[in-house]
Amino acid sequence: MQAQRHRTLSERIASAGLRVHCALIFLFLVAPILAIVPLSFNSGSFFSYPMDGFSLRWYAKAFGSHDWQLAFANSIGIGAVATLIATCLGTLAALGLSRQVFPFRAIVMPLLISPMIIPIVVVAAGFYLIFSPLGLVNSYAGVVLAHAALGTPFVVITVTASLLSFDQSLLRAASGLGARPWTAFRRVTLPLITPAVATGAVFAFATSFDEVIVILFIGGPEQRTVPRQMWSGIRDQIDPSILAVATVLIVFATLLFTAMNWLRGRAAAASRT
């Protein structure tokens, strides 16, 4: 009885220590981000505490500025088109890689996910060298294609992971019932991998929306996105409206993270059934 009580006390101490440890790690990771949010409501013009007062002036300036409006429109438009391309290409690639017989899989897979591994500066320089002779530099088409290439690996990884746990007997049953390959894919495979496809699409959109290095290499003034506008605001002049935009992006990233967790839950439930 005494040994059981001692073990229970030790477990409680260990559990409390683990919670404190996790809380400290969480604070270490999140504190720099949360420090931005109050400053976005500062009535003063400096990035410092204590705050001069509460004001929404920087939000009004950010959303009332033509440059910021163009940046948001570009980020959403470029991100949407790049995500559509990345999702289609990544899903098709994952379908091929998940086949039992696929030659050179060990070589093709690292090549497909190389944009995630190679330093982004090297990737951006490569895009510039390839796109410049083709006339795609300083164009929406070039930025969209580059962002699609950066987002495709995320779709490949998520969809491939879902297909590896896919029950192939379902396709054989559909084929036995007379379904053609396209019909079997549309009615059997696609509904089961949709959560994984959607998760990859969210990752691809977040990658495009957050990207700044590639846009500096191949984007022009008309293709200015939110990250590039923030970069210009920090480099040229210290504008507190950047903090207002950063706060909006934090909320946006939180919503994306929530959506990804929900989609992962859907994918896990689909794989169990």
190: domain CATH number?
A: 1.10.3720.10
Confidence (pLDDT) at 164? 78
In this structure, the answer to whether residues 23 and 80 fall within a common structural domain is: no
In this structure, the answer to whether residues 19 and 144 fall within a common structural domain is: no
The tally of domains found in the chain comes to 2
In this structure, the answer to whether residues 28 and 71 fall within a common structural domain is: no
Check if the beta carbon of residue 162 is closer than 8 Å to that of residue 271. Answer: yes
In this structure, the answer to whether residues 141 and 18 fall within a common structural domain is: no
Confidence (pLDDT) at 87? 93
Distances (CA, A) of 180 to 89, 93, 166, 171: 22, 20, 19, 10
The 10s digit of each residue's pLDDT in 211-240 is 889 998 998 888 888 888 888 777 666 777
In this structure, the answer to whether residues 173 and 232 fall within a common structural domain is: yes
Check if the beta carbon of residue 163 is closer than 8 Å to that of residue 98. Answer: yes
SS3 track for 173-213: HHHHCCCCHHHHHHHHHHHHHHHHHHHHHHHHHHHHHHCCH
The 10s digit of each residue's pLDDT in 18-38 is 889 888 888 888 877 778 888
d(CA 89, CA 22): 39
Look at residue 78 and tell me if it is in a domain: yes
Look at residue 46 and tell me if it is in a domain: no
The residue type of 94 is A
Determine phi and psi for 54, rounding to 5 degrees.
-95, 135
d(CA 204, CA 211): 11
The residue type of 253 is A
Query: Does residue 189 carry a pLDDT above 70?
Result: yes
Residue 13's pLDDT band (cuts 50, 70, 90): confident
Higher pLDDT, 33 or 94: 94
Closest CA to 37 of 242, 202, 193, 260: 242
In this structure, the answer to whether residues 101 and 21 fall within a common structural domain is: no
Q: Which domain covers residue 170, as residue numbers?
A: 66-272
In this structure, the answer to whether residues 15 and 132 fall within a common structural domain is: no
The rounded mean pLDDT for the chain is: 81
Higher pLDDT, 101 or 119: 119
Residue 129's pLDDT band (cuts 50, 70, 90): very high
Say what the pTM is: 0.78
In this structure, the answer to whether residues 23 and 75 fall within a common structural domain is: no
Gap between the terminal Cα atoms of the chain: 44
The 10s digit of each residue's pLDDT in 152-165 is 999 998 888 888 77
By CB atoms closer than 10 A (0-12, 13-18, 19+), residue 70 is: middle
Check if the beta carbon of residue 203 is closer than 8 Å to that of residue 186. Answer: no
